Amino acid sequence: MDLPATEYEEAWRLQSDLVAARKKKKGLDTDVVMLLEHPPVFTIGRHGGLKNLTVSEKFLEKRNIPLIRVERGGDITFHGPGQLVIYPIIDLHAAGLSVLNYIENMEEVMIRTVQDWGIMAQRSLVNRGVWVNDNKLGSVGIAIRRGICFHGMALNVNMSLEPFYWINPCGMQKMTMTSMEQELSSPVSINRVRRAIKQHIEMVFDVELVTTSLSELDCLH
């Protein structure tokens, strides 16, 4: 499900509604994948804290950038325009996936996607996500509620990386973030990346994605 740029809290509420509907199988008897971008926002996962925010909260307030605590795993991160965020709402048991399988599959989707642009990314032996050398290109953070997995992955396509200097990304000091555009030193179309990542979701998870919209999901009405 392709969505326009969506405020973080709105997308978060939508995920919660879909998780509830997926568990009850009330109007939602299949998994859903949401693809979107967020306006600038910092989120802190359940393992994080303000100690990894290296500027003041007032600094963020002056720039109208929210700071939101959420239930996903991980520490603090930044979302903004030019970053493609993918939120699968998936029943892992029904899909036959362990949590580790699922996380590794999401990483594999990002690795294969950026490889289409000639970027050779890989996993880290010690940290989750997708990396180009020592620079982080894509992140993974999930939560599980009543057996349904939500939140997901974020791939830096052509976003401004400056806000990552205002935090210790994922709680790691001196970690450098990168983007597809920075790695290539040339423009990258986020719409092309959307199309590519959907193809790789289909291949890695062995599924067929069907285009839908919010208005077509009965569980939300």
Active site positions, annotated: 170
State the DSSP code for 2: B
Q: CB neighbours of 194 closer than 8 A, spacing ≥ 6? A: 2, 35, 84
Count CB-CB contacts under 10 A for residue 199: 14
Residues 6 or more apart whose Cβ sits within 8 Å of residue 90? 31, 97, 102, 148, 149, 150
- Residue 147 identity: G
Distance (Å, rounded) from C-alpha 153 to C-alpha 140? Answer: 4
Helix and strand element counts for the chain (H, E): 6, 9
Strands 130-132 and 41-44, bridge-based pairing: unpaired
